[in-house]
Amino acid sequence: MGDFGSSPEWKLAPLDGAASPSRHRKVLGAISTIAAVALLSVVVWGFRYHPGYDETVPGDAQPIAARVTIGGAKQYEPEGDFYLVFVRERQDLNYWEYLKAKWFDDHAEITKIQKGSQPASRQESLCMMSDSQAVAKQVALEKLGYTLSKKPGVLVSAIADRSAPVAEALECGDVIREVDGVEITELSTLSEVIGKHAKGETVRVGFDRKGARKEADIQLISAPDGRPILGVLPSLIIDYPVELTIDTGAIGGPSAGLAMTLTLLDELTPGELTGNRRVVATGEILPDGGVEEIGAVELKAVAAKNRDADIFFVPTCQADPKKYPDALRACQAGIQKARDNAKGVKIIPVATLDEALRALVDNGGDALPDISKN
């Protein structure tokens, strides 16, 4: 018979569903790891995913006078300043940049990227500024009575169609010297030589790039009216009687034209065009003294206000109300928003350089003196 003198040993087992402390820690650790991985994946996705938007925000307004160097004429030093103004752009935002711009940036403009659109390259933007400077110099000197002469050749200000064959051969800043062996002395010569061909035909173009002569065979495209063209925006090369240099650094685009023209006039003449005020100006200057519309005036107004500007010149809305009513309304809305964004700054729309000069006199500035050099 068995030994009944010893009692059996009993052990309590954990109830179903109850976890030991170590098992509990393992489960929490696993959940934490999964959550961390998921969060990291979302963060990485947000940086990699691009919803297809660009952002434009206010930049800065900067005085131009200190950037100007003049040789061959007396340079005056006015008390007041003209300021150029610019915006900052960020292209193809990632998801986190998009959310920040949409919800947290007070003065950000977000625009949907249009399918097939190609933003201007950094080099093209700088070329636009260079071309704007050239026009500003021309307009200012002609306003003061200087006689300007043209140099032979045609300057490529920009590539009009970056999908055209010319984009593979020429770039802004190149100087076209000949086409099919014919010397190009001015714009009319270029049009005449190109006009002898048809769309799709190839011409041999000789051009200068940074002092080096180059050649390229370029296939022609057609303009909207059917004329054969290279597909560039050409401009004259001016021989200036006065050496004028404006150091705009890394600032690009054409919209500082009016501001640079006013600055040159102020620097080349006695008196105070600004009336000792801070005058910010935006608008592309045209060879005839007109002021072309530009965008983002409402954002530039913020930069002008941040610089404590007294006056802010903007281009007059010029779209034909019958042909382009939407463009006209958008321009008018932009100017109204500029006034809302820069209360205390006198915003004056102008269509020409002469209108800006008259507005300066009306606001306490000196009239432009007559110092004709003819």
Percent of the chain with pLDDT over 70: 91
Residue 302 has pLDDT above 90, yes or no: yes
Which pLDDT does position 268 carry in this prediction? 93
Q: Give the N- to C-terminal CA distance of the chain in Å, as an integer.
A: 141
What tokens were used for 26?
């393992």
pLDDT at 225: 82
Lookup: tokens for 18: 């109850």
- For 118-168, write each residue's pLDDT tens digit: 666 667 787 888 888 989 999 999 999 998 888 889 998 888 777 889 989
Q: Does the pLDDT of residue 97 top 70, yes or no?
A: yes
Q: What is the mean pLDDT of residues 103-126?
A: 75
CA atoms within 13 A on the CB side of 72: 9
- Residue 39 CA to residue 32 CA, distance in Å, equals 10
Look at domain 149-239 and name its CATH class: mainly beta
- pLDDT score recorded for residue 103: 84
112, exposed or middle or buried, with CB in 10 Å at 0-12, 13-18, 19+? exposed
Helix (H, G, I), strand (E, B) or coil at 281: strand
State the average pLDDT for the chain: 86
Handedness of CA 115, 297, 58, 43 (dihedral sign): negative
Ranking 11-15, 94-98, 269-273, 283-287 by mean pLDDT, the lowest is 11-15
pLDDT band for position 274 (50/70/90)? very high
- The answer to whether residues 309 and 345 touch, using CB atoms and an 8 Å cutoff, is yes
Q: Does the pLDDT of residue 305 top 70, yes or no?
A: yes
Residue 44 has pLDDT above 90, yes or no: no
Q: What is the mean pLDDT of residues 53-61?
A: 87
Report the share of the chain in percent with pLDDT over 90. 42
Out of 39-43, 48-52, 94-98, 283-287, the most confident range is: 283-287
Q: Among 36, 94, 76, 121, which Cα is nearest to 266's?
A: 76
Rounded to an integer, the average pLDDT of 291-304 is 92
Tokens 């006056």 correspond to 311
Average pLDDT estimate for 193-197: 91
> In angstroms, rounded to a whole number, what is the distance separating the alpha carbons of residues 230 and 285?
25
Residue-wise pLDDT for 221-243, tens only, equals 988 888 899 988 888 888 889 89
**Ranges assigned E (strand) in 64-122:** 68-71, 81-90, 109-112
In the chain, domain spans: 52-113+121-147+242-366, 149-239
Q: How confident is the model at residue 372 (pLDDT cuts 50, 70, 90)?
A: low
pLDDT score, position 20: 67
Choose the most confident range, by mean pLDDT, from 59-73, 123-137, 353-367: 353-367
Q: What is the mean pLDDT of residues 46-74?
A: 88
Residues 260, 65: Cα–Cα separation, whole Å: 9
Per-residue pLDDT for 277 more than 80?
A: yes
Residue of 168, 167, 227, 164 lying closest to 199 (CA atoms)? 227
Which of 58, 78, 83 has the alpha carbon at shortest distance from 281? 83
| Topology classification of domain 52-113+121-147+242-366 | Ribosomal Protein S5; domain 2 (3.30.230)
Distance CA 93, CA 49 (A): 9
The per-residue pLDDT for 249 is: 84
Given a cut of 70, whether residue 373 has pLDDT beyond it is no
